[in-house]
A and B are shown apart, each in its own frame.
Chain A
């Protein structure tokens, strides 16, 4: 597992049913592109998060393929419509096979 990986998510706790809310996500990750060389000239192997998804009650909200040009600590901000109370599940897929998951509940009234 890559070191220092920590997902962070910001979702409002409450919303009116049918509202569109803004979701912000950030994961700390070094996102080594595979293009760099170390001091002795050897290529530093690529180690990035290659996919990010968000689901709401099992339904896909966003599904992103991530390529090596993306920055360290990738930050995603997007909007989602909340038809009912439920849970957002966020998943990041690492090149090394690790999967990082976090979830947030939201109450719709």
Chain B
């Protein structure tokens, strides 16, 4: 090897070594409790193939320390809330003197697979898990509705979501869902706020890069409700949307608004194929 080549390869090596370790997703494999192997990387669903080749779970963008919290249920702080929801499931509430378990005798396990297909259109209305829970509370139990991002609500959403953990996300985007999906897609690509940022600017064009101290993921919602370390509680999908839009310095939409329902459907459809990770742990 001549001197010039040697120098070139040394430069190449130096460039390789100094490349920031956080460019793109890492190569870790997510196996929960040594038994559930999760899909954290897969081919993008058909509707994304013009813009993305591969979709990655947000887990792949987190530090090793944060990732470790999701590998073992004992260390997953969200499981405390799941336990509380299990108690709630059996607690009588409302004027009818019923608990969830009064009707759903087989326990939360019977909802395996449900969360993987939510949100979906029911009776012409785009329906999220929160809508289903409050609907049943009102109709069957005569109970007061829970607040969208309230502790009880998100704990129960997490408990139902946990039953689908490991199953691939699979929300319908055609038929009755199509108009809602189109609306969500339009929102995803609309620039909001003084900073004029759309969801796509960060989570499609720039994932893997740093936005100040944060390692940008693709913004997948297959792990929601998610335990966020900085808030020390379960965070709803709509809370996360609100936070992102607020950070663009825009007036944001309300949690539980039709806008966020449509956005939830569209963003969920971008996760189609990834494993449901509920409840995930993030920074």
Binding site for B on A (CB under 8 A): 4, 6, 8, 10, 24, 26, 28, 71-73, 75
Q: Which of A10, A24, A73 contacts B80 (CB 8 A)?
A: A73
Q: Is B84 touching A8 in the complex (CB atoms < 8 A)?
A: no
Is the C-beta of B75 less than 8 angstroms from some C-beta in chain A? yes
Q: Are B83 and A24 in contact (CB under 8 A)?
A: no
Question: Given contacts A4-B84, A6-B83, is CB(A73)–CB(B77) below 8 Å?
Answer: yes
In chain B, residues 67-84, which have Cβ atoms closer than 8 Å to a Cβ of chain A? 74-75, 77, 80, 83-84
Q: Which residues from chain A contact B74 at a C-beta distance below 8 Å?
A: 8, 10, 24, 26
B73 nearest CB neighbor, chain A only: A10
- Rounded to whole angstroms, the CA-CA distance of A71 and B80 in the bound complex is 14
Interface string of B82-124 (1 = CB under 8 A from A): 0110000000000000000000000000000000000000000
Within 8 A of A (CB), among B153-175: none
A97 to B218, alpha carbons, bound, how many Å?
A: 49
Tell me which residues across on chain A come within 8 A of B75, comparing CB atoms. Answer: 24, 75
A73 to B77, CA, bound (A): 9
Contacts of A6 in B (CB 8 A): 83
Cβ-closest chain B residue relative to A24: B74
Distance (whole angstroms) from the CB of B108 to the closest CB of chain A? 18
State in angstroms the CA–CA spacing of A75 and B83 once bound together: 16
Can you name 12 A-B residue pairings with CB atoms under 8 Å?
A4-B84, A8-B74, A10-B74, A24-B74, A24-B75, A26-B74, A26-B80, A71-B232, A72-B232, A73-B77, A73-B80, A75-B75
Max chain A C-beta neighbours (<10 A), residue from B80, B83, B232: B80
The 4 closest A-B pairs by CB, nearest first: A10-B74, A28-B80, A24-B74, A73-B80
A71 contacts across to B, CB distance below 8 A: 232
A2 to nearest B CB, angstroms? 14
Report chain A residues within 8 Å CB of B83. 6, 28
Q: How far is the CA of A10 from the CA of B73 in the complex (A)?
A: 11
B residues less than 8 Å from A24 (CB atoms): 74-75
A27 vs B83: C-alpha distance when bound (angstroms): 12
User: In the assembled complex, which residues on chain B have CB atoms less than 8 Å from the CB atom of A4?
Assistant: 84
- Which residues from A are CB-within-8-Å of B232? 71-72
Q: Which of B185-235 contact A (CB under 8 A)?
A: 232
Determine how close the nearest CB of chain A comes to the CB of B253; give it in whole angstroms: 28
Identify the closest chain A residue to B77 (Cβ): A73
CB distance from B90 to the nearest CB of A (A): 15
Inter-chain CA distance A71–B77, complex, in Å, is: 12
Taking CB as reference atom, which chain B residue is nearest A71?
B232
Closest residue of chain B to A10 (Cβ to Cβ) is: B74
Residues on B with C-beta less than 8 A from A10 are: 74
Instruction: Give Cα distance in the complex from A80 to B232, angstroms.
Output: 29
**A26 (CB) vs chain B CBs: closest residue:** B74
Q: Distance (Å) between the CB of B137 and the closest chain A CB? A: 21
From 26 to 85 in chain B, residues with beta carbon under 8 angstroms from any chain A beta carbon are: 74-75, 77, 80, 83-84
